[in-house]
Chains A and B, each alone.
Chain A
Amino acid sequence: MSTTEIIFWFLSALAIFSAIMVITRKNPVFSVLYLIVTFFAISGHYILMNAQFLAIVNIIVYAGAIMVLFLFVLMLMNLNKEGEPRKNRYLLWSGVIAGGMLMIVIIAALQTSKPEIVDSFSKGDIGLIQNLGMALFKEYVVPFEISSILFLSAMVGAVVIGKK
């Protein structure tokens, strides 16, 4: 095994383990913390694929901003066992069945499709910031600007709701 392979298997195991921990923890604060570990593991995968910009932005945006807001809300909500609503048993089963069917569909779809190799492992350079910037601001400049307007309108909307 080469260094890259060792790191790959370690990161994959970490990502799956922490993702399972996210949905099995009773305390939502722990779920959030495990989700952050998952993001780190995924960022590690991005670095292995030489997509450094994506890796760092993943951490800044998800671990650094969104999860902090999640923690803010969870910490102020004062969650405890007594306040938890009783769950409907039928709802539980229907959730299990729907999730299982989704998994079957995904497996069926992925089984027959051949993964397209965009770039070779840890050698590619499409994830580097220069190339990404060129692609975003030359080829895809219109969709990029439109999505930024979408963000702006979301921000204005948040301010309007906050002012009420």
Chain B
Amino acid sequence: MFHLLNAGIDWGLAIEKLLLIVVVVSIALGFAMYSTYGERKVAAILQDRLGPNRFGPLGLGQPIADAIKLFFKEEIIPNRANKVLFVMGPALAMMAALMTSAVIPWGDKIIIGGKEVSLQIADVNVGILYIFAVVALGVYGVMIGGWSSNNKFSLLAAIRGASQNISYELAMGLSIIALLFVTGSLSLKDIVVGQQETMWNVVYQPLGFFIFLICAFAETNRTPFDLPEAENELNFGYHQEYSSMKLGFYLFAEYINMFMSSVLMATLYFGGYDIPFFNEAASTLHPNWIALLGFLSLMAKTIAFVFFFMWVRWTIPRFRYDQLMHLGWKTLIPLALFNMLLTAAIMLYLQGR
């Protein structure tokens, strides 16, 4: 063990990254926890009700009560289910939801004791592709959960959900290709820095942003695309056989996905941690303060997007399945292709001038 400790591993870096991972994951979990509360409050406001108001001031203790309820419910594993995969399903869904956070720049660097610490877990130069890989892996949680339950309806719902995710991934990818023409980099950090220097990408890519937004709704299984769990028309979905905290994990993963896609939209199209109308490079503030303000700015944008997700959920009814596929394949993909060609033509024209 001792020679492992001296094995040329940069322990300072390892501890720094580990702390960052713990903080980021805790923020994501806490945010997801309180978005369940936010969801119910937003629904209540839109439907002219009060919403949760029993536990704690303004009902703020409600998520804790929900978590306790889910943990103490009886855990049921169906008799003929594949037990290993049945347990693995929710874990995979959770893992895929949290993995996105690794490449998102949560703020500029901070200085602790003379040491610069970047507020990004990994600045890989294929950041966007990494996010695609993780989004693609999100399908496994759905499919394994649905299949291992050994229930026809779960399996059908899982396949419904998986094909929806795969279909909308394509349009999402095409809309991002157009964004890459503008930014010229796949690293999320570079994309944010580029937006700080010029304008936000949404100005250059309004159509691309719109397509990305629709696809984000479909990827997170939110209304109007929440067919995987349309409990009143189809059936409850791929998590039909799940109970207790396993069901909780599936539902929770949806909220984490919503948080992550909101952060992603803010990062890609709305400047990330850029503070609007404020020149970070020329300011005399301490870098730590700028990092904090930038983080708050990112969170404000994220909360706005999460609110939009909820607003849509309680306003718009869901699509029928054929309408969903029609929209994905015959409307969004041609539109995204058109956007890509248009962007490429304009960029070439500007370069050649």
Contacts and interface: CB of A to CB of B under 8 A. Distances in A.
Interface of A: 1-3, 6, 29, 33, 36, 52-53, 56-57, 59-60, 63-65, 68, 71-72, 75-76, 128-129
A2 B82 CA distance: 40
Contacts of A56: 126, 129-130, 132-133
B345 to A, nearest CB: 17
A1 B133 contact: no
Interface of B: 4, 7-10, 82, 85, 124-126, 129-130, 132-133, 136-137, 139-140, 143-144, 147, 155, 158-159, 162, 166, 186
A128 to B, nearest CB: 7
B133 A52 contact: no
Nearest to B84: A30
Main secondary structure of the interface of A (DSSP, over half): helix
A29 B147 contact: yes
Contact of A52 (B124, B139, B144, B159): B124
A34 to B, nearest CB: 12
A154 B129 CA distance: 24
Given A75-B147, A129-B126, A68 B7 contact: no
Contact of A129 (B8, B82, B139, B186): B186
Given A52-B124, A72-B159, 13 more contacts: A1-B8, A2-B7, A3-B7, A3-B9, A3-B10, A29-B82, A29-B147, A57-B129, A60-B136, A63-B136, A63-B137, A75-B159, A76-B159
A112 B139 CA distance: 45
Main secondary structure of the interface of B (DSSP, over half): helix
Contacts of A1: 4, 7-8
Nearest to A2: B8
A3 B143 CA distance: 35
Contact of B125 (A52, A57, A64, A75): A52
A64 B129 contact: no
Contacts of B133: 56, 59-60, 63-64
B129 A68 contact: no
Contacts of A64: 132-133, 136-137, 139
Nearest to A6: B7
B7 A128 contact: no
Contacts of A29: 82, 85, 147
B94 to A, nearest CB: 17
Contacts of B125: 52, 128-129
Contacts of B124: 52
A68 to B, nearest CB: 5
Contacts of B85: 29, 33
29 contacts: A1-B7, A1-B8, A2-B8, A2-B9, A3-B10, A29-B147, A53-B126, A53-B129, A56-B133, A59-B133, A59-B136, A59-B137, A60-B129, A60-B133, A60-B136, A63-B133, A63-B136, A63-B137, A65-B166, A68-B136, A68-B139, A68-B162, A71-B143, A71-B147, A75-B147, A75-B155, A76-B155, A129-B125, A129-B186
A79 to B, nearest CB: 12
Nearest to A67: B140
B243 to A, nearest CB: 22
A115 B269 CA distance: 46
Contacts of A2: 7-9
Nearest to B8: A2
Nearest to A43: B133
A52 B147 contact: no
Nearest to A74: B147
Nearest to A47: B124
B143 A75 contact: yes
A52 B126 contact: yes
B129 A3 contact: no
B166 A68 contact: yes
